[in-house]
Amino acid sequence: MSTKDSIERFRTEFLEARSERQSDEPGWLTLVRTQALERFLDKGFPTPRDEEWRFTNVAPIVSGSFEAAPAGSDSDAAALKKRFQIGEQESHDLVFVNGRWSRDLSSVGDLPEGVAVTSLTDALSEHGDELQPILSQGSGDDTAFFDLNEAFLSDGAFVSVPKGVVVERPIHLIFLSLAPGKPTVVHPRNVVIGEAGSQVRILETYAGVGDAVYWTNAVTQVLAADNAVVDHYKLQRESASAFHVASLEYVQGRSASVSNHSLSLGARLARHDIRAELAGEGADVTLNGLYVVKGKQHVDHHTVIDHQVAHCTSRELYKGVLDDASSGVFNGRVIVRQDAQKTDSQQSNKNLLLSNEALVNTNPQLEINADDVKCAHGATIGQLDAEALFYLRSRGIAQQEAQRILTEGFMADVSDRIRLAAVRETLRGLLFREAA
Amino acid sequence: MTALIEIKDLHARAEGKEILHGINLTIQPGEVHAIMGPNGSGKSTLSQVLAGRDSFEVTKGQVLYQGKDLLDMSPEQRACEGLFLAFQYPVEIPGVNNTYFLKAALNAIRKHRGEDELDAMDFLKIVREKVKLVELDEDLMNRPVNEGFSGGEKKRNEIFQMAVLALKIVSSGVNSLRNDERSILVITHYQRLLDYIVPDHVHVLFDGKIVRSGDKELAMKLEEEGYGWLETKAS
């Protein structure tokens, strides 16, 4: 199939999807979809010739003939949900199966007055006025994948926390993909609105099982208004043959505080585009990440931290552990605009290669247009310390166990910063089990 | 009685250069031996070979540990069999908690001996007891292994690990943990050894060979006169 054909088929699918879609969709959304499709058809999928995609080849997605995922059975999904629930701590769970909200599997529970945790399509009627500007704005730099998500967006989560309200328990958004036997795609879209002075913790889990071939093309948009606090985690546990492409965007108001941990373990190919716009003075953002891959997995994080105004702080720490013939990419851009005086920014990417075939490309970038700023960045690629390995072995610890302990130690400064204990424990269990 | 350790005509090389030219040494249970020697005499090569470092190649000879071929064992096997190497400059391991590390080590050794793994409470009891014995600051147990420790704290941490882990033999480093079962081999350049431990046997290593053996009088002579008098004799 030529690239041209593989793009044109999206037009056909778009028209089919439109005729099947509920007629009560607001007119503005139909227009947004159509415009997004046109943008996509215009630019097509990225290739390694595009600077931002140099080391991540999406050809398998382009040629993969992914069809819209059919509805999954709730009983299969129920078993799956159990596997991916977190900890003992009660959370407000919103479950999506093959891109569709599952009312039965979701258990949102009691929420503080005025807080909305619901499916995006349900929210369109009640929260249409809030959603229209967010869904219409496009992305900071629209990628083909963002456009496709907008054109085909099926469902996703809508979380809205009113002014000054604190949501104590975490909100867990669980996206389950059931193996339908042929390659399928879902386009989840999540919107989180934290109004002024609100506080919320959100965990997104993307999961599938075994060798199921599917493609998740997700977009999450988060607005953190003045003084809002958003503590956000994403746990990517897709199947070993899945493709996961996701954009995440934060827009932060004055003194808004956002923290994100991107924990990427699964998928054959995973690409995360994360963008934080510091648009209000005194805002701070923390972007941390951990990617652990093996076999022939490929994982790519592209992050942009955009210091638009003065007195903002950003902290970024990404660590990668790559085994076998896996590969990784970290591209971290920190932009300091002309008005962003007194910016305080630190960025670091550290990689541990456990095999001779593993490969990583790291590229921290600083673009500074203001003169009174404090910025530091750096990147390292290394192997397990032979001295440390011998030291552990000389104390009776077997080689494999010694490697595991050192690898866990390497990841500790990211994993220890995960404030949500259930996520920390889940992660530790996953990594422990995977290495054992 | 089987010797605890028997080194026979040991030759070893690193990076193509022979460093040990035939070492012979027998240590009986409960004995304390010291190997002393000037820089470049082969002290560190000998301790690394005994510990199981693979950067050294043994070209001739053998080492028997309780009658078994020591050189055939992995470093972890040697440790599980009771050999403990105290490092002079132990490595710092960021991210790995000292307690966690030591518990993993002790349980690996216990498992090897066919004993049950210790739970957190029993382990803590041992730690408390041994920390007191070697006068180690207990706060260091909650820090990453050796990270940011002073030189003295690192050495003390080694001795502490030995107190927790080792049964039979210790090589290099200074300690005060002598008993009937435990043999100690101190490999050092440091001539004021006698301030810390009184060896039963003292050996002088020179150019990859033991050129002289004696009792503590030999150590005293080295302390007073240095190694110069050996060089003139050897040449």
* In chain A, where the domains are located: 3-280, 385-436
- Nearest partner of A362 among A300, A289, A410, judged by Cα: A300
More confident residue, B155 or A309: A309
Closest alpha carbon within chain A to B82: A396
Residue B234 token pair: 């050897």
For CA atoms A316, A175, A245, A32, the dihedral sign is negative
Q: Which pLDDT band holds residue A194 (cuts at 50, 70, 90)?
A: very high
The residues, any chain, with a CB within 8 Å of residue B174's CB and separated by 6 or more, are: B155, B159, B186, B188, B190, B193, B196, B197
CB-CB neighbors (< 8 A) of A410 in chain B? 95
CB B189 within 8 A of CB B176: no
Closest alpha carbon within chain B to A387: B91
B window 67-106, beta carbon within 8 A of A: 74-76, 78-80, 85, 87, 90-91, 93-96, 100-102, 104-106
Q: What is the DSSP string of B107-149?
A: HHHHHHTTPPPP-HHHHHHHHHHHHHHHT--GGGGGSEETTT-
Of A385, A397, A413, the CB nearest to B76: A397
**SS3 per residue for A227-273:** CCEEEEEEEEECCCCCEEEEEEEEEECCCCEEEEEEEECCCCEEEEE
Q: Give the Cβ contact number of residue A148 at 10 Å.
A: 22
Please tell me the predicted confidence (pLDDT) of residue B233.
57
CB-CB neighbors (< 8 A) of A394 in chain B? 51-52, 75-76, 78-79, 85
pLDDT at A6 over 90: no
Complex ipTM value: 0.91
% of chain A surpassing 90 pLDDT: 78
Report CB contact under 8 Å: B52, A385.
no
A136-145, A283-292, A359-368, B52-61: which range is least confident on average?
Answer: A136-145
Please tell me the predicted confidence (pLDDT) of residue A137.
80
- Nearest partner of B190 among B36, B31, B20, judged by Cα: B36
Report CB contact under 8 Å: A396, B165.
yes
Please tell me the predicted confidence (pLDDT) of residue A1.
41
More confident residue, A235 or B173: A235
Please tell me the predicted confidence (pLDDT) of residue A79.
83
pLDDT at A108 over 50: yes
Please tell me the predicted confidence (pLDDT) of residue B191.
66
Please tell me the predicted confidence (pLDDT) of residue B173.
44
CB-CB neighbors (< 8 A) of A398 in chain B? 76, 108
> Residue B6 half-sphere exposure, CB side, CA atoms within 13 Å?
10
> Residue B157: what are its φ and ψ, rounded to 5°?
-65, -35
More confident residue, A140 or A70: A70
pLDDT at A34 over 90: yes
- Mean pLDDT value across residues A261-285: 98
SS3 B223: helix
Report CB contact under 8 Å: A395, B79.
yes
Q: Which pLDDT band holds residue A355 (cuts at 50, 70, 90)?
A: very high
Rounded Cα distance between A329 and A270, Å, is 10
SS3 A147: helix
Q: What is the mean pLDDT of each run of 10 residues along chain B (235 residues)?
A: 90 92 93 90 91 90 94 95 87 94 95 92 90 87 94 89 72 52 79 74 94 90 82 57
Please tell me the predicted confidence (pLDDT) of residue A40.
93
Numbered residues of chain A with Cβ closer than 8 Å to any chain B Cβ: 385, 387-388, 390-399, 401-402, 405-406, 408-413
A155-164, A386-395, A413-422: which range is least confident on average?
Answer: A413-422
Please tell me the predicted confidence (pLDDT) of residue A366.
95
Which of B91, B106, B109, B170 is the best mutation test for A, with the most CBs of A within 10 A? B91
Q: Which helix (H) or strand (E) holds B182?
A: none
Question: What is the least distance, in Å, from the CA of A405 to any CA of chain B?
Answer: 7
Residues forming a β-bridge with B5 = B27, B65
CB A326 within 8 A of CB A351: no
Of A390, A399, A409, the CB nearest to B94: A409
CB A10 within 8 A of CB A148: yes
CB A235 within 8 A of CB A208: no
At A300, the amino acid letter reads D
- Mean pLDDT value across residues A403-426: 92
Domains within chain B, CATH numbers bracketed: 5-82+169-234 (3.40.50.300), 93-165 (no CATH)
A94-98, A399-403, B52-56: which range is least confident on average?
Answer: B52-56
Please tell me the predicted confidence (pLDDT) of residue B174.
45
Integer CA distances (angstroms), B213 to A49, A75, A378, B164, B198, in order = 72, 79, 55, 32, 15
> Residue A3: what are its φ and ψ, rounded to 5°?
-60, -40
Residues forming a β-bridge with A257 = A229, A284
Rounded Cα distance between A126 and A121, Å, is 10
